Amino acid sequence: MSKMKACVLYGPLDVRVQELQVPQLKPDQALVKVKAVGVCGSDVHYYEHGRIGRYVVEKPMILGHEAGGEVVAVGEAVTNLQVGQRVAIEPGVTCGKCKFCKEGRYNLCPDVEFLATPPYDGAFCEYLAMRADFLHPIPDHMSYEAASLAEPFSVGLHACRRAGVKPGDTVAVLGLGPVGLLTVVAAKAFGATKIIAADLAPIRLEMAKEMGATAVVNAQEQDVYKFIMQETGGLGVDAAIETAGSTATNLLAVQAARRGGKVALVGLPPNPEVPFNVFTIADGELDIFGIFRYANTYPTAVELLASGIASVEKLVTHRFTLDQAKDALDKARTDKQGSIKVMVNL
Ligand SMILES: [Zn+2]
Ligand SMILES: [Zn+2]
């Protein structure tokens, strides 16, 4: 096996499935036969625009960073994995040496090599060489799709961890894309007993209930702020987690938190300047947390998903093969209301 198929992005709306060399292994890497890759909002963004902020696709790049697969070879220095092991792939390989890595906040590592973030290739391919300490074994009963969903789930876990969600808490999740829906699962895992979920799309609100939301509110039909206040006896929530990436939901997150509450900002609004009310924040002693990817979440994510905390495969609304990767990207791009997670299975 020296050649493999890969889906390569050449420019806006131009992806091609072609033959590439199977990557060579470094001593500390394992070769993974990719089995499932989720299409993420960032993949769609690169596919549509060729860039996200300061990250610009300057040469052909393989998309995809939410993946699970099977180990088919290990480098000579690898001791933690064996051929045949099924794994969830943590997509950001960090240096392990800088201040941020040493602090355990390796998501902030300036030298991170993150799959499908230029200039690094991603996982829409048959074989991936990854440093072995970023491959997390999954049990036999856990699906490769669930392994790939450990990636967006990790964002939700990281947000709940940063916001200190604890047993008995009330949490609002604003925005119910895959990250928002998996944040609902994370909040439940952290012991939140009241989880209020808001979105505009009925399909996502229904799914939020399946994932463990105790109350859902359609922002197109109701005033979400009023709804949250009613649900919390006028107090506000212990933690408000924003995943929609709009100005309105950022403002709402700060409004919806109780005095002394926490706010976690996950989504990136198109215009990052958001006019927060400083009085609300200072007078209410709100803690506001920025959330960038995640760190040290994969083992927890795998344990929780393997435990069956939620049937996360239900989030997969559309499935494609690698040869149909363009269709998968187009589905995610053009049917945001009708799709939740689009998956490529190999
Ligand atoms: Zn993602
Ligand atoms: Zn580092």
CA of 44 to the centre of ligand 2 (A): 27
Q: Which is nearest to 318 in space by CA: 9, 17, 39?
A: 39
- The per-residue pLDDT for 55 is 86
Q: Which residue has the tokens 């403002």?
A: 251
What contacts 78, CB < 8 A, 6 or more positions away?
27, 28, 29, 30, 132
Task: Find the angle CA(49)-CA(53)-CA(54) to the nearest 5 degrees.
Answer: 115
Ligand nearest to the CA of 154: 1
pLDDT at 1 over 80: no
pLDDT at 333 over 80: yes
pLDDT at 39 over 80: yes
CB neighbours of residue 73 within 10 Å: 16
Ligand nearest to the CA of 104: 2
SS3 101: helix
- The residues with which 128 forms a beta bridge, in sequence order, are 32
Ligand nearest to the CA of 38: 1
Percent of the chain exceeding pLDDT 70 equals 100
- The per-residue pLDDT for 262 is 98
What contacts 61, CB < 8 A, 6 or more positions away?
8, 9, 46, 116, 118, 119, 120, 121, 122
Handedness of CA 244, 313, 155, 262 (dihedral sign): positive
Ranking 79-83, 125-129, 334-338 by mean pLDDT, the lowest is 334-338
Average pLDDT over every residue of 255-262: 98
- The per-residue pLDDT for 336 is 86
User: 325 is written with which tokens?
Assistant: 């990767």
**34-46: string of b/e by CB count within 10 Å (b at 16+)?**
bbbbbbbbbbbeb
What confidence category does residue 52 fall into, taking pLDDT thresholds of 50, 70 and 90? confident
What confidence category does residue 151 fall into, taking pLDDT thresholds of 50, 70 and 90? very high
CA of 283 to the centre of ligand 2 (A): 37
What gap in Å lies between CA 161 and CA 155, rounded to an integer? 10
Residue pair 21/126 in contact by the 8 Å Cβ criterion: no
Ranking 43-57, 109-123, 174-188, 331-345 by mean pLDDT, the lowest is 43-57
**Residues 66-75 pLDDT 10s:** 999 999 999 9
- The per-residue pLDDT for 61 is 96
Residue 77 one-letter amino acid: A
Domains of the chain: residue spans and CATH: 3-137+311-345 (3.90.180.10), 155-290 (3.40.50.720)
**Residues 183-240 pLDDT 10s:** 999 999 999 999 999 999 999 999 999 999 999 999 999 999 999 999 999 999 999 9
pLDDT at 156 over 90: yes
pLDDT at 277 over 80: yes
State the chain's mean pLDDT as an integer. Answer: 96
CA of 41 to the centre of ligand 1 (A): 7
CA of 131 to the centre of ligand 1 (A): 19
What gap in Å lies between CA 312 and CA 308, rounded to an integer? 9
Half-sphere exposure of 3 (CA within 13 A, CB side): 5
